C-alpha cells in the first residue's frame, strides 16, 4: 500500500506542477479572477496532498487496514476535489458548465477530511 501512496503522491505532484503552469500561463487570459482563484485552490490542495501521500508512503510502517483507509481517502479525495474544480472552472469558462461536477467537489473534500480524521485517530492510538 505504501507503494501506491508513493505512486499517487508522485503523480499528483507532477500533475499539480503542470496544472499550475497551465493555469498561470494559458488560462490566466481566459478565466475571471474568481475562476483562476478556484483553479489555483484545486492545484494547491492537489500539491498539499501529493506531498502528504509521499510522506505517508515513506513513513508508514505497516500495511494495516487503517493505513489503507488513510491512503485511499487521500487519493480519492484529492482526485474528486481537485479534478472536479478543474472541470467546473474550465467548462464554465467555455460557457458549458458541467453542473454534475458541483456535488463532487464537497464529496472529495469529505474524503480529505476523513483521511485527516483517521490519521489523527491512528496517531492517538499509537501512544
Total domain count for the chain?
A: 1
8 A C-beta contact, residue 31 and residue 93: yes
pLDDT of residue 127: 67
Residues 6+ apart with CB under 8 A from 88: 38, 97, 98, 101, 102, 105
Rounded CA gap, 37 and 43, in Å?
10
- Full residue range of the structural domain in which residue 113 is found: 2-124
Cα dihedral value 32, 33, 36, 40, nearest 10:
-170
pTM: 0.92
pLDDT in tens, the chain (127 residues): 789 999 999 999 999 999 999 988 888 888 999 999 999 999 999 999 999 999 999 988 766 889 999 999 999 999 999 999 999 999 999 889 898 999 999 999 999 999 999 999 998 987 6
E strands along 19-82, which residues? none
pLDDT of residue 24: 87
Amino acid at each position: 500500500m505504501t507503494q501506491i501512496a508513493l505512486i499517487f503522491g508522485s503523480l499528483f505532484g507532477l500533475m499539480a506542477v503542470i496544472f499550475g503552469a497551465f493555469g498561470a500561463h494559458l488560462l490566466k487570459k481566459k478565466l475571471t479572477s474568481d475562476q483562476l482563484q478556484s483553479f489555483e485552490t484545486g492545484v494547491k490542495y492537489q500539491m498539499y496532498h501529493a506531498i502528504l501521500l509521499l510522506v505517508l508512503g515513506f513513513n508508514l510502517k505497516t500495511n494495516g487496514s487503517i493505513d489503507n483507509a488513510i491512503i485511499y481517502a487521500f487519493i480519492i479525495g484529492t482526485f474528486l476535489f481537485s479534478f472536479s474544480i478543474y472541470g467546473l472552472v474550465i467548462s464554465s469558462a467555455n460557457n458549458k458548465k458541467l453542473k454534475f461536477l458541483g456535488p463532487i467537489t464537497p464529496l472529495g473534500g469529505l474524503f480529505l477530511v476523513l483521511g485527516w480524521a483517521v490519521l489523527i485517530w491512528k496517531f492517538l492510538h499509537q501512544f
